[in-house]
Structure 1
Amino acid sequence: MRWREEGARWMWAHPSRGVRASPVRLGAPLHLAVAGDAVRRCAGVWRRGRGIPCPDSTEVAPGARRDQCETCAALDRASSVAADTVPDDRQPYAVYLAYFGPGLLKVGITAVARGRLRLLEQAAVCFTFLGEGPLMAARRTESVLGSALDVPDRVLDPAKREARHRLPGPAARAAEVAALHARVTALHDKLPESLRRAPLRCVDHAEEFGLDTDPPPPPPAAEVTALPPGSAVTGTVRAIAGHDLHLDTAEGPLLLDARLAAGWPLSRPDGQTLPAPTAPLRPRTPDPDPLF
């Protein structure tokens, strides 16, 4: 599943028809099945909107979140900005503040050409850009905010999933982003001169994700753990955030990580398929208060 300006899209790789896209719509039914004799194969490498097939069609485990073999994953890392393997990248980069829920914000960088797509992929409920400039200036800004303001550059999926079900209203979300933006602005003498600053402009994705409905989508009671051969997922799309699909099903609210579907030959369910295995989703245990 990939995000475009028009919304989330399933990207299908057909042996003779090439890559095709179909929209993932809020309120629409979702029916995915994996045949009993199907094998999950490495999805290859995705570059500039095109899929490069895995040369060995390596088999991938049904429950793996990463849909690549080690060879293709290494090829991805070899040209990854996140892994710091392309320090001489000459395209401009933007620094952003992303908000996932109350008290849950991060700083990150993305290519200017990608715009907000990186934020949609990360399930950022709202965000603002801080500025743009060369890659090293963006990296330096990210580092300064981490050390001076203790702003993390990473937020894990379990924390994002829990936070999106206790969101305040749009004004409160924007106010929290604005408060951090003001703290960053106060560090102007510590930020690289080559970073062109951007004014505060909070962009909110909650409505696009389906999180601002009345009533809001209920927290999932369970999550799909794998799509093994002979299994199926059937439901109605209630919300979409990053790679997470929140579904209404006959058994209750269900979370499907769309990465589990990558690499499978998929079809519609029939009488031979069984429900995909699931596991209960429990609230995270909060960290204990420090003694000192």
Structure 2
Amino acid sequence: MAFGWRCTGVAWPGDGPELGWSRGRERRVSVLAYGSGLRFRAVGERHCVGARGNPCPVAAVVPARSTGGRCPECARLDRAHSVAADTLADDPRPYRVYLAWFGPGLVKVGITREERGGARLREQGAVAYTWLGRGPLMAARRTEEVLRAALGVPDRIPYARKRAVRGQLPGERQRFGEVVELYGRAVGLQGRDWPESLEPLSLEVVDHARAFGLDRSARATRAVGELVDGGVVAGRLVAAAGPDLHLEVDEGGVIVLDTRLITGWELAAATPPGKGEVGVPLIDIAGGGVQGGLF
């Protein structure tokens, strides 16, 4: 089965987002710039993006509304090699424990490989964060569990909740203050509950509001619910956070495109919307129902 270039989603290797593409084992990226136009048309069916850098052996069709973008077998294989699966206990690489802030009351503690730096935090859409400690994987995992219980924070925060607060964030000083307060509570447990092999790290709050473009973008009120064959997405990129691209559309307002929904699709350049073209369903994320249409 012959395919063109298919989207593999957004990555954050630096301070700006990049869209990834694959065709078989070939890979390429498109650097995204705020203020630039983004216009594409979905072609055909959505297919599994594969796992661990390998294409899906059966090119399985996956549901349009799935944020995973993988068939069950590839999803199983991908998760089996992830830190979250707890199958890498003998991993010799150093890990870091972090405190991530997404909005008032939306905080989590997590771990990431030290070599990844802040990429994991940008991929999650963390508006602000600080490192807490570094050490072996199992020490980092134990510290993560201790701090979750002590701070009363979840192990994950749904993207829908992150989007709900992203357009009405408090000022940088307040964001900084909340992270500092939580950091103090976390390191206060160091002598009693942290594993000895985990080295504590000093406070250094990183704020992503400017890098994400959230300090200059209007609040998003709608989001793309799914792509359909022939459906057009068009707008001007004004902000991005994690997998979400914020697009200012011609009819006014800002919509969110969750790029997890476009993985596995072949995307073609689209001419300006015209009579007979198919739109994509839009979800009201400002408190309402679902609607469809062109934009």
What TM-score results when the alignment is normalised by the length of structure 2? 0.89
Contact 2:167 2:220 (C-alpha < 8 Å) held by counterparts: no
In structure 1, what is the equivalent of residue 39 of structure 2?
31
Secondary structure of 2:150's counterpart equals helix
Aligned pairs for 1:168-179 within 5 A: 168-179=170-181
Contact 2:24 2:55 (C-alpha < 8 Å) held by counterparts: no
In structure 2, what is the equivalent of residue 274 of structure 1?
278
Residues 1:41 and 2:43 aligned together: no
Contact 2:224 2:282 (C-alpha < 8 Å) held by counterparts: yes
- Matched to 1:224, the amino acid is V
* Aligned counterparts of 1:109 and 1:283: Cα–Cα separation in 2: 33
How far has the Cα of 1:41 moved from its partner? 0.9
Instruction: Find the partner of 1:136 among 135, 138, 153.
Output: 138
- Matched to 1:164, the amino acid is R
Contact 1:246 1:253 (C-alpha < 8 Å) held by counterparts: yes
Contact 1:248 1:254 (C-alpha < 8 Å) held by counterparts: yes
Contact 2:94 2:137 (C-alpha < 8 Å) held by counterparts: yes
Aligned pairs for 1:226-245 within 5 A: 226-245=226-245
- Matched to 1:28, the amino acid is S
Residues 1:4 and 2:13 aligned together: yes
Contact 2:101 2:107 (C-alpha < 8 Å) held by counterparts: yes
Task: Report the number of matched residues.
Answer: 274
How far has the Cα of 1:273 moved from its partner? 3.2
In structure 1, what is the equivalent of residue 292 of structure 2?
none
Deviations 1:106-132 (A, max 9, x none): 100001011100000000001000010
- Matched to 2:138, the amino acid is M
* Aligned counterparts of 2:70 and 2:254: Cα–Cα separation in 1: 29
Structure 2: give runs of 5+ residues left out of the alignment. Answer: 1-9, 289-295
In structure 1, what is the equivalent of residue 249 of structure 2?
249
Of all paired residues, the percent bearing the same amino acid is: 45
How far has the Cα of 1:64 moved from its partner? 1.6
Secondary structure of 1:245's counterpart equals strand
Contact 1:41 1:264 (C-alpha < 8 Å) held by counterparts: yes
Secondary structure of 2:60's counterpart equals coil
Deviations 1:35-59 (A, max 9, x none): 3xx12110011x4xxx311111111
In structure 1, what is the equivalent of residue 196 of structure 2?
193
Structure 1: give runs of 5+ residues left out of the alignment. Answer: 285-292
Residues 1:210 and 2:213 aligned together: yes
What TM-score results when the alignment is normalised by the length of structure 1? 0.90
- Matched to 1:234, the amino acid is A
In structure 2, what is the equivalent of residue 219 of structure 1?
219
Contact 1:162 1:283 (C-alpha < 8 Å) held by counterparts: no
How far has the Cα of 1:15 moved from its partner? 4.8
* Aligned counterparts of 1:65 and 1:94: Cα–Cα separation in 2: 27
CA RMSD between the two structures: 1.6
* Aligned counterparts of 1:27 and 1:242: Cα–Cα separation in 2: 18
Contact 1:33 1:273 (C-alpha < 8 Å) held by counterparts: no
